[in-house]
Chains A and B, each alone.
Chain A
Amino acid sequence: MDRGLIIRGVRRCSFGRFALWMVPWALLLIVGCYAAFLCLYEGLHHTNMDNRFAFGLWIFLDLTVIALGAGAFFTGFLLYVMKRKELQAVINSAVVIGFICYSGAVAVLAVDVGQPLRAWFTFWHPNTHSMLTEVTFCISVYLTVLAIEYLPVILKNRKLRQVPSFLVFEFQLHKLMYVLAGVGTFLSFFHQGSLGGLYGVLHARPFVFREGFAIWPSTFFLFILSAAAVGPSFILLTTWLVSKVTRKELVKPAVFRSLAHVSGVLLIVYVLFKSIDTLIWINGTSPGLGFAAYDYYAWKPFGTWILFTEIIVLGLVPALLLLNEKRLPSRGWLILAAMLASSGVALNRFVLTIQTLALPTLPFDQFLSYWPSWQETATFLAVVAYGVLVYSFSFRYLTLFPQEKELSRI
């Protein structure tokens, strides 16, 4: 049965070995589901969030995985709209990663909100002034788009292809891919931006408030740019990781170089705009609200080092490495650069979520710290486990890397 499902022309490990690989992830998923159940059934007091730290680990990591999952839309955009055909080699993997990131984030959000059964209220009583409304709309629709994009990958499975109607359906879906890639790009641009806007519009939280263009604060554009820049890096990173774990060449070196180049160009533009934005905020926006920017960094451990790390170490350095992908002595440097870039976007989301809430606004308030509970950590690890399980199944039975067959013959 298992052998019959595996695509022809590629080698996969024995089913026993595959099952052994899946067991720890499945256990992690079960523990995480139990933790999520406690939060849903008994209440969010199982978390270490509180009335000041109203957002915690979940929101920080949701924002991070959604940024990293941007690789799906941006690779689709580059392939179908910008006609970078070499990216055909990673588009299926990118779609699966995007689907995992978005569905995982939505699942965690369902645990995070106090009344998940009221999620539909946002569609029924939408507040059109709220960035969160826009995020909810776009993420719901985009997750559907990702599911539709994932479907042809599933239907291409060896056994499923034997059903003629599936084949026809898959063929028809494939013709829609250009439209879906366009719709996905549009939706992604907006919700990535709105996720940044979530913080930028908080005019009473001067640490994150930013001025911008029309109704959009600068964080709206910076989030789009950072997600588009880091998405290809994350695809590069995951492709390398899968290649290492499975000990197989999955894509040609040109694909790595192409992803690195796109990521590098966008990252350098992002670093430039982020630096300008930071200078405007330090010299204009924050003092304009009566808060000297240097005061924020007096609260340890969040000193100015965090700003330096975000912009230089995890921004400018990986951007320069990625841009010089042809001159790098080994692929290891490329992987390091992709890791730094991905960590940079995570640090940015951390600063906006956690540092913002730790800082006092009232002069007689205290600086607070927060450490997630085991339930919060386990719930999130369950999403990681879910991701590994879905990806492992997809890799074993579906064509995630079309060049694998060709490369295995060499």
Chain B
Amino acid sequence: MTKETVKTRPARYGMVIDLDRCNGCGACMIACAVENNVPACPEGVTDRTGITWMRVQKLSNGQSFPDSRTAFIPVMCQQCGDKTPCVSVCPQQAVEVDEASGIVDQMPQRCLGCRYCMVACPYHARYFNWWDPAWPNGMERTLNPDVAPRMRGVVEKCNFCHGRYQEARAKAAVDGAAERAVEYTTACAEACPTGAITFGDLDDPGSEVAQLAKSENAFRLLEKLGTGPKVHYISKRAWVRAAAGSSLAAETREVRHG
């Protein structure tokens, strides 16, 4: 008699980032790079050619001293849920949305490196391997065995720590957690010293992430394009929401244009 396959409930993983808590320290970027075997920067790399699945960018209110204000916004793959721009354009199905998790997956071993998906992505959250990946002597021992490093000439991006997801999924299957979605958290959420990043299942109404996503101050990047990102941002400051282009903020134009 064969044992029935244990199936876990599909989830819709998402993230909420509290911009009022983010101090721009960049710990999330480092944790992400270490977790996902992002190689060290080769000589000659620039901020336009380097690989950072997660990138902390600066927001400014555009005023001069003493009225100038600055905030930080970590930007990564927004894990679009509707009309995912990168999926439909890939000529060889190297990008797909996982039905069990809602995560937009990139398959580097199938990627042609045509970079059409990078052109399609409005968040500029996709990165190309312009160099051969290399780690300084001895640093290869820091590689995460659960994540395959990518080769030169392919595109990569944030996948909500797919290695961690797979591990948690295997554990859930062993534990027989058939009715629960797989529970895990991403490296960036774990590393953030101010607790600005909350990760979880958006479909679970009781989860913290689902509660926060419904906050009146929550918004998503370029929501007007209808891509249905699963990364949400929160800020109580109107100018931050406006600078990030929040479409829920009716004050957007007023704040931007004084």
- Interfacial residues, chain A to chain B (CB-CB below 8 A): 43-45, 49-55, 112-115, 118-119, 121-122, 124-127, 129-133, 136, 198, 201-206, 289-290, 356-357, 361-365, 368
Contacts and interface: CB of A to CB of B under 8 A. Distances in A.
Given A50-B130, A113-B113, 12 more contacts: A44-B113, A50-B49, A53-B48, A112-B114, A121-B110, A122-B91, A125-B92, A129-B88, A130-B90, A202-B119, A290-B224, A365-B124
A132 B57 CA distance: 32
A364 B130 contact: no
B85 A114 contact: no
B119 A45 contact: no
B225 A203 contact: yes
A113 B121 contact: no
Interface string B143-167: 0000000011111000000000000
Can you list the 3 inter-chain pairs with the closest CB atoms, starting with the nearest? A114-B113, A114-B153, A290-B224
Contacts of A122: 91-92, 112
A126 B110 CA distance: 11
Contacts of B130: 43-45, 49-50
Contact of B124 (A52, A126, A133, A206): A52
A202 B256 CA distance: 27
B245 A204 contact: no
A82 B152 CA distance: 49
A363 B119 contact: no
A356 B119 contact: yes
Nearest to A47: B130
Contact of B85 (A52, A132, A204): A204
A82 B74 CA distance: 59
* Chain B facing A: main interface SS: loop
Contacts of A121: 92, 110, 112
A363 B244 contact: yes
Contact of A364 (B73, B113, B115): B73
Interface string B177-193: 00000000000000000
B122 interface: yes
Contacts of A132: 89-91, 114, 116
B154 A364 contact: no
A51 B153 contact: no
14 contacts: A51-B126, A51-B127, A54-B119, A114-B111, A125-B92, A127-B90, A132-B90, A132-B116, A203-B85, A204-B122, A289-B224, A362-B245, A364-B57, A368-B48
B118 interface: yes
A211 B256 CA distance: 30
A56 to B, nearest CB: 10
A50 B48 contact: yes
Interface string B86-98: 0011111110000
Contacts of A125: 92-94, 110
A111 to B, nearest CB: 11
Q: Which of B83, B114, B153 has the most CB of A within 10 A?
A: B114
B249 to A, nearest CB: 11
* Chain A facing B: main interface SS: loop
Contacts of B112: 113-115, 118-119, 121-122
Contacts of B247: 290
A281 B7 CA distance: 47
B224 A114 contact: no
Nearest to B58: A364
Contact of A206 (B75, B128, B225): B225
A285 to B, nearest CB: 12
Contacts of A124: 92
Nearest to A133: B91
Contact of A198 (B57, B92, B116, B127): B116
A125 B96 CA distance: 13
B118 A364 contact: no
Interface string B219-238: 00110111100000000000
Nearest to B44: A45
Contacts of B127: 51
B244 A204 contact: no
Nearest to A290: B224
Given A114-B152, A130-B89, A204-B227, A51 B118 contact: yes
Contacts of A44: 113, 128, 130, 153
Interface in B106-139: 110-116, 118-124, 126-132
Contacts of B243: 363-364
A115 B111 contact: yes
A136 B116 CA distance: 13
Given A121-B112, A362-B123, A364-B73, A114 B129 contact: yes
A204 B110 contact: no
A7 to B, nearest CB: 42
A121 B94 CA distance: 10
A119 B112 CA distance: 7
B90 A204 contact: no
B122 A362 contact: yes
Nearest to B247: A290
A204 B256 CA distance: 22
Contacts of B44: 45
Given A114-B113, A361-B122, A201 B88 contact: yes
